[in-house]
Amino acid sequence: MTTTALTHLTQLVTNDPSLGEGPLGLIQDAAVVIDGDRIAWVGPSSKAPATDNAVDASGRSALPGFVDSHSHLVFGGDRTEEFNARMSGRPYEAGGIRTTVAATRAATDEQLSANVAHYLAEALRQGTTTFETKSGYGLTVEDEARALRIAGEHTDEVTYLGAHIVSPDYADDPAGYVDLVTGPMLDACAPHARWIDVFCEKGAFDGDQARAILTAGKQRGLLPRIHANQLSYGPGVQLGVELDAASADHCTHLTDADVDALANSTTVATLLPGAEFSTRATWPDARRLLDAGATVALSTDCNPGSSFTSSMPFCIALAVRDMRMTPDEAVWAATAGGAQALRRTDVGRITPGARADVTLLDAPSHVHLAYRPGVPLVSGVWRKGVRVA
Ligand code: NIG
Ligand code: FE
């Protein structure tokens, strides 16, 4: 197998405290050796073993490829008009999802798949090497199963979100829709997904409905995650903890009891600052969660309604500026945090044996991701050992 080394990195983030300094395991003047699809060696450049190829990365820094644990990429159409209206003062409401449901149902398989590929390529160029994506804009048995099949053409981290909102076809019978989501739709979707998710929110699903949906999914072998406490206070976060969800996502409106529950659990609090940015909403308080001892991840929530960004660097900059995270905390959350939110140990770190996913920055340190917002600093991306950007 071919070996490649990145040498003379001004700084390297390993996310392994045993390899370097602090929680990010930082190494100065570092080298990384890739063998096939794995990391083979990490350490000071002066001690790097000989390799077939070498890239001199003087003046640059590297970090694990970003792990984006929350996106909604199987969709048709866009919502430019809704965004314009919102920026003129109209509030964001869960009901906007219906616009995308209509456009998604009308799209062909080829259009949907090309759309997913387009946004994944965009994310890859910005350093994201692992991505989760969801269904949730089909809301019929056939359209949800189709969305998951298409998602599975592009990633292994596929989430069944038949419970995004009550389907417009069941507007007068929400209980009937929950029966569909936990019955025939689950039967059709479970073979194509790893995760089950529910939007637990006013205007979507209440705590009892969300419990029934996640429990049914668990019984079929799907692992739970939850959209919780995005637009208002509610039962989502505590339900996620109770059901051992890998992640409770959004966490914008939290009581002290919610923060305590997260801090005393293995459920990651995944914060999605692109959503607050694009809906002009209150920022989640990352500082409060971190100070309480909760594990925090950052993701894009890329979707055409509430957060139409695929950029993890943008989310890091927002988290540092507006959610009171330090640059180190934000970079950890966008890499190792995302991996934990997907219960993965092979990604989100640059250590021997990990998948060779490396993002190279044209900057001397990862801090520049927040210090130089909006600047395209990503100058190289390796995924499974292959240079893809
Ligand atoms: O995570 N909260 C629910 N789902 C998405 C929004 C989807 C949409 O508006 O189309 C979210 O923000
Ligand atoms: Fe979402």
pLDDT of the residue at 95: 80
Q: What is the DSSP string of 197-262?
A: EEEESTTSB-HHHHHHHHHHHHHTTPEE-EEESSSS--SHHHHHHHTT-SEEEE--S--HHHHHHH
Mutate-to-test residue for ligand 1 from 199, 276, 277, 279, highest number of ligand atoms within 8 A of CB? 199
Helix or strand (DSSP H, E) at 44: strand 38-44
pLDDT of the residue at 1: 82
User: pLDDT tens for residues 337-349?
Assistant: 999 999 999 999 9
Q: Say if ligand 1 is within 6 A of residue 199 CB.
A: yes
pLDDT of the residue at 341: 99
Cα dihedral angle (98, 101, 102, 108), rounded to 10 degrees?
170
Give the pLDDT mean for 225-229. Answer: 98
Mutate-to-test residue for ligand 1 from 73, 250, 306, highest number of ligand atoms within 8 A of CB? 306
Q: Residues annotated as binding site? A: 70, 72, 79, 137, 164, 227, 230, 301, 303, 305-306
Give the pLDDT mean for 8-32. Answer: 98
pLDDT tier for residue 330 given thresholds of 50, 70 and 90: very high
Q: Residues annotated as binding site for Zn(2+)? A: 70, 72, 227, 301
Q: Say if ligand 1 is within 6 A of residue 71 CB.
A: no
The one-letter amino acid at 291: D
Mutate-to-test residue for ligand 1 from 81, 99, 164, highest number of ligand atoms within 8 A of CB? 164
pLDDT of the residue at 285: 97
Task: For the chain, give the percent of residues with pLDDT over 70.
Answer: 100
> What is the token pair recorded at 215?
């429990």
Q: Residues annotated as binding site for 4-imidazolone-5-propanoate? A: 79, 137, 164, 230, 306
Q: Say if ligand 1 is within 6 A of residue 305 CB.
A: yes
User: pLDDT tens for residues 30-87?
Assistant: 999 999 999 999 999 999 999 999 999 999 999 999 999 999 999 999 999 999 999 9
pLDDT at 223 over 80: yes
Ligand with an atom nearest the CA of residue 279: 1
Dist. CA 17–CA 351, nearest whole Å: 10
Task: For the chain, give the percent of residues with pLDDT over 90.
Answer: 98
User: pLDDT tens for residues 286-312?
Assistant: 999 999 999 999 999 999 999 999 999
Task: State the average pLDDT for the chain.
Answer: 98
31 neighbors 7 (Cβ within 8 angstroms): yes
| The model's pTM | 0.98
pLDDT at 94 over 80: no
pLDDT tier for residue 16 given thresholds of 50, 70 and 90: very high
Q: Name the β-bridge partners of 54.
A: 5
